[in-house]
Structure 1
Amino acid sequence: MPAHKDALGTPQSLLILGGTSQIALATARRLIARRARTVWLGGRPSPELEQAAEHLRELGADTRTVAFDALDSESHESALGKVFAEGDIDLVLFAFGVLGDQATDERDPVAAARVAQTNYTGAVSAGLVCARALQEQGHGSLVVLSSVAGERARRWDFIYGSSKAGLDAFAQGLGDALHGTGVHVMVVRPGSVRRRGSTGRGDGPLSTTPERIAAAIDLGLRRRSEAVWVPGSLRLVMSALRHVPRPVFRWLPV
């Protein structure tokens, strides 16, 4: 089946894993406004997932849902294979993940492992399945939502941060493995995200919003970027922080 992208390279068909994510839905809305027509929302079956699908239908997209559980790696090939069997996918967006609760998870190794399994090993499994399908169709983009937290482990979120560090490294390596195949891999590294109804953690000077991340994803796709920072100033900030000596870094309010 030929590629669905329009003359400007705008994705026409989307597969979003993490279909209730505010970032995912902001991205879908933006791409639907730019002529995306087919959307698959993957996630655990729930009223919230169905509501998200109905919202996108009201915007004019042919939206369907697919059962996807990051923790159930054995189901990924079957579930995602059914989506690709329905037709080519121009964009796969990995928007699933959990923050966990660092203070609680340090005392509960099972809960800590669940954070890692969701954010990292679930993405490895799904990423390899989607990468193979994209390579077989000969085109498409895989966008992976990483995090600035993966750039350097911090005392207050090293469980989450280490899972994102693994995800980030995996996505970069996958992009290199797929170079020259027609498949584009882009890593997105947002700062703290101000979500609807949230206060505190996401309100710092280098924080961002789902809508700004969606805009950055849209621009990165058109530029075929390999890495996108949101806000862009984080690139320089983290470049400096990576080289701060650990005894100093421990005391920095980051």
Structure 2
Amino acid sequence: MKNALGSVATVLLLGGRSEIGLAITARLVRDGARRVVLAPRAGHAPEAVAGLKEAGADEVHVIPFDAAEPDGHAALFRDARELLGDVDVVVAAFGVLGDQAAFERDPRAAARSATVNFTGHVSTGLHAAGLLRDQGHGTLVVLSSVAGVRVRRSNFVYGAAKAGLDAFARGLADALAGSGARVMVVRPGFVRTRMTEGLHPAPFAATAEQVADAVAEGLRLDRLTVWVPARLKALFAGLRLIPLPLWRRLTP
């Protein structure tokens, strides 16, 4: 649970190699978290473990995790609970970007991407909600994206999955109201990471560390939604209102 200073003690990171997820976890460790479970797709993440211990974590455990295999998700949360005791924060940071042109040539690849980016979050989100509800406290941090606020044709497979994830997370937050458990939806814009390397940065691009700082502040203030950077909230409020013919001319 949060201590008197508002910091948390335990963190479960789904997507144990995500640069944004690791930056968030490292920030929470620097703020006082001491026990962490990393859940990467492969069952080892030595550099991430070393980095979190250097940041101040006393314990860093690794559990293999495959977002596309929901049959294993119940065991993941059971094992994390055994290792951590109560889980104060679950960070759902897994996902794949992919290539829109490749998806249009290979619908099966598009479906696999959507399985990770949406279906995997549905399964893990419900498991996380059950765990946090049973505890009576804790926050599920869901990494959504501005790509889902108004989907562009240049990445509509990714954007559609993020739109579904965003709606799911908001609905889950409503379902948990009054239980002591919470969901915080994080909507970053373009973030400079390995996943976006080689892409032309969008306006107001951020770093993984800036996302981490915004998440830490959001947890401290019990926010429901976090935009990174904050100015994107007003920008996308306006973008939602652009008529479709103009939107199609303005966006690639």
Per-residue deviation, residues 135-167 of structure 1 (Å, max 9, x unmatched)? 001100000000000011111000000000000
Percent of residue pairs bearing the same amino acid type = 49
User: What is the distance in 1 between the residues matched to 2:200 and 2:226?
Assistant: 19
> Residue 68 of structure 2 is aligned with which of 68, 71, 85?
71
Aligned positions of 1:65-214 closer than 5 A: 65-86=62-83, 87-195=85-193, 199=197, 201=199, 203-214=201-212
CA gap of 1:12–1:236, structure 2 versus 1, over 3 A, is same
User: What is the distance in 2 between the residues matched to 1:214 and 1:135?
Assistant: 25
1:250 aligned counterpart, secondary structure? helix
The one-letter code sitting in structure 2 at the alignment partner of 1:13 is T
The one-letter code sitting in structure 1 at the alignment partner of 2:82 is A
CA gap of 1:202–1:95, structure 2 versus 1, over 3 A, is farther
Per-residue deviation, residues 165-222 of structure 1 (Å, max 9, x unmatched)? 0000000000000011111110000001112696553523221110100000000001
Match of 2:19 in 1: 22
User: What is the distance in 1 between the residues matched to 2:202 and 2:165?
Assistant: 24
The one-letter code sitting in structure 2 at the alignment partner of 1:99 is L
Displacement after TM superposition at 1:6 (Å) = 1.5
Residue 229 (structure 1) aligned with residue 231 (structure 2) = no
User: What is the distance in 1 between the residues matched to 2:6 and 2:181?
Assistant: 13
In structure 1, stretches of 5+ residues that fail to align are none
In structure 2, stretches of 5+ residues that fail to align are none
User: What is the distance in 2 between the residues matched to 1:251 and 1:171?
Assistant: 31
User: What is the distance in 1 between the residues matched to 2:230 and 2:97?
Assistant: 22
User: What is the distance in 1 between the residues matched to 2:167 and 2:187?
Assistant: 12
- Comparing 61-70 with 81-90, which one deviates more in the overlay? 81-90
> Residue 50 of structure 1 is aligned with which of 27, 46, 53?
46
Displacement after TM superposition at 1:11 (Å) = 1.2
Residue 35 (structure 1) aligned with residue 29 (structure 2) = no
User: What is the distance in 2 between the residues matched to 1:197 and 1:186?
Assistant: 23
Structure with the larger helix share = 2
TM-score (norm 2): 0.95
CA gap of 1:197–1:155, structure 2 versus 1, over 3 A, is closer
Is the 8 Å Cα contact of residues 50 and 65 (structure 1) preserved in structure 2?
no
* Structure 1 residue ranges (4+ consecutive) displaced by more than 6 angstroms after TM superposition: none
Is the 8 Å Cα contact of residues 202 and 208 (structure 1) preserved in structure 2?
no
User: What is the distance in 1 between the residues matched to 2:163 and 2:186?
Assistant: 12
CA gap of 1:46–1:135, structure 2 versus 1, over 3 A, is closer
TM-score (norm 1): 0.94
User: What is the distance in 2 between the residues matched to 1:196 and 1:105?
Assistant: 20
User: What is the distance in 2 between the residues matched to 1:110 and 1:204?
Assistant: 28
Displacement after TM superposition at 1:9 (Å) = 2.0
Displacement after TM superposition at 1:85 (Å) = 2.8
The one-letter code sitting in structure 1 at the alignment partner of 2:232 is L
Is the 8 Å Cα contact of residues 12 and 87 (structure 2) preserved in structure 1?
yes
Is the 8 Å Cα contact of residues 53 and 63 (structure 1) preserved in structure 2?
yes
User: What is the distance in 2 between the residues matched to 1:166 and 1:198?
Assistant: 21
